[in-house]
Amino acid sequence: MALVGMTVGHVHFSGLRRAFPKLGYLGPAEPFVLLAGLVAGMIYWRMAEQRPAAEVWGRGLRRAGFLYLVYLGLAFSIIALTLAFRIWWPEFLPYRSALIAEDPRLAALLVPALLFQPGYADILPMYLAFGAAAPAVVLATRAGRLWLCASVSVAVWVLAQLGAGDRLMGPLVERFGSSLPYFDILGWQIVFFGGLVLGMRRAMGCDPVVPRHPALVGASLAIVVLLLVTSHGGLGAPSRRGGLGWLENRSAFGPLRVLNLAAAVVVLARLSSLRTPWLEQRWLALIGAHSLPVFVYSCFLGYALWFVDDLPDPVRVVAVLLGIASLTLPALAQQRWRAARAASRAARAGASLSYS
């Protein structure tokens, strides 16, 4: 569902409201990052139970390296497609990517150093940093130092609220005519860390993974409802994004967002203990199981849909719906590629056994 929401969020149609609902001070990116941490926590914890720390570190670093290569491919492709699209549509320019039009060679040179991250690709560098750090958190937790990891995560989050990252990197990127990534890694790491903790607790066999005390669930539900109301202008609160300033700052993941996400996790965890077959959709499970290629595809889809912005609203809505349905294509492509690779490995293993 987060992938669908991010796809819709990447479509910038003039005069047409976003289809994804405003769920308090949360959007589709928050569950995406949280669930990435949850899966990483489960995988690395189970791996650490069976293999030495060096292999856990190796797995994390290889994953980070792979994400770096994916980021390079996505960023360079966005630059190339932008230059091609601007031949027919001079007004076309990706989000936060003015440098491509001003100096495409400089933009390409800055991409590997992460000093220029074209719009929609800027979430991947954050993920590769999280992936590299995940083994450290898991191994430290197994050594009984989760409290230390939590303290560091909170301290780094506080630095984000004080604008430390912007002050440090701002002058550097501005010197090259670039811009800071939308997601402040110092703030958003607390979301991934929270997911890591949930994933590790699940791998440990903790039951429940999220506490279900009635008082906690009731308070969390009240917080979710209250923040949902205020985010839409209720109780005199401003309804526009950023109206509450640093309290709801999305880039640095402000305090209201932390509170909203924590409360939502408690409520959803309680609901998950009930049977909810209406949420168990095969199509959502398919694209979720292949989230990386689906996300990369959705970035290009968001840009491609800009070309129907001048058409009537019904046509634009249908185009978005068809675009969402087409998320199936990269998921099926990776599914078949994995199946073919598994079959090839099995055939090689069988041939080796026969030869022996």
Q: Is residue 84 part of a domain?
A: yes
Query: Using an 8 Å Cβ cutoff, are 145 and 169 in contact?
Result: no
Distance CA 236, CA 230 (A): 7
Query: Using an 8 Å Cβ cutoff, are 196 and 41 in contact?
Result: yes
Q: Are residues 225 and 202 in the same domain?
A: no
Q: Are residues 117 and 154 in the same domain?
A: yes
Q: Are residues 61 and 182 in the same domain?
A: yes
Using the 3D structure, point to which of 158, 177, 209 is the last residue of a domain: 209
Distance CA 158, CA 88 (A): 46
Q: Are residues 79 and 175 in the same domain?
A: yes
Identify the CA nearest to 75 among candidates 37, 38, 39, 121. Answer: 121
Q: Are residues 98 and 232 in the same domain?
A: no
Q: Are residues 149 and 253 in the same domain?
A: no
Q: Is residue 79 part of a domain?
A: yes
What confidence score (pLDDT) does residue 109 get? 93
Q: Tell me which residue has tokens 């809505």.
A: 317
Using the 3D structure, point to which of 209, 231, 266 is the last residue of a domain: 209
Give residues with Cβ within 8 angstroms of 283, minimum separation 6. Answer: 328
What's the alpha-carbon Rg for the chain, to the nearest Å?
A: 22
Q: Residue 23 forms beta bridges with which residues?
A: 26
Identify the CA nearest to 45 among candidates 148, 128, 147, 135. Answer: 135
Q: Are residues 177 and 269 in the same domain?
A: no
Strands, DSSP E only, in the chain? none
Largest CA distance in the chain: 77
Q: Is residue 138 part of a domain?
A: yes
What confidence score (pLDDT) does residue 17 get? 61
Q: Is residue 310 part of a domain?
A: no
Query: Using an 8 Å Cβ cutoff, are 174 and 98 in contact?
Result: no
Q: Is residue 162 part of a domain?
A: yes
Domain count within the chain: 2
What confidence score (pLDDT) does residue 238 get? 78
Q: Are residues 90 and 216 in the same domain?
A: no
- pLDDT (tens, 9 = 90+) of the chain, 356 residues, equals 888 988 888 887 776 665 556 778 888 889 989 999 999 999 999 999 999 999 999 999 999 999 999 999 999 999 999 998 888 888 888 877 888 988 999 999 999 998 899 888 888 999 899 989 999 999 999 999 999 999 999 999 999 999 888 888 888 777 777 777 888 999 999 999 999 999 999 999 998 899 989 999 999 999 999 999 988 888 777 777 777 888 888 889 999 999 999 999 999 988 887 776 766 788 999 999 999 999 999 988 988 888 888 888 888 889 999 999 999 999 999 999 999 988 888 888 777 666 66
Using the 3D structure, point to which of 274, 299, 316 is the last residue of a domain: 274
Distance CA 32, CA 294 (A): 12
Q: Is residue 130 part of a domain?
A: yes
Q: Is residue 110 part of a domain?
A: yes
Q: Are residues 151 and 82 in the same domain?
A: yes
What confidence score (pLDDT) does residue 145 get? 94
Q: Are residues 102 and 228 in the same domain?
A: no
What confidence score (pLDDT) does residue 16 get? 63
Distance CA 134, CA 203 (A): 14
Query: Which phi and psi angles does 243 have, rounded to 5°?
Result: -65, -25
Q: Are residues 95 and 148 in the same domain?
A: yes
Distance CA 82, CA 4 (A): 24
pTM given for the model: 0.89
Q: Are residues 39 and 106 in the same domain?
A: yes
* 310: its two tokens: 């001048």
What confidence score (pLDDT) does residue 40 get? 94
**Parent domain of 244:** 210-274
Q: Residue 26 forms beta bridges with which residues?
A: 23
Give residues with Cβ within 8 angstroms of 293, minimum separation 6. Answer: 330, 331, 333, 334
Q: 207 — alpha (psi -120 to 50), left (phi > 0) or beta?
A: beta
Q: Is residue 169 part of a domain?
A: yes
What confidence score (pLDDT) does residue 71 get? 94
SS3 96: coil
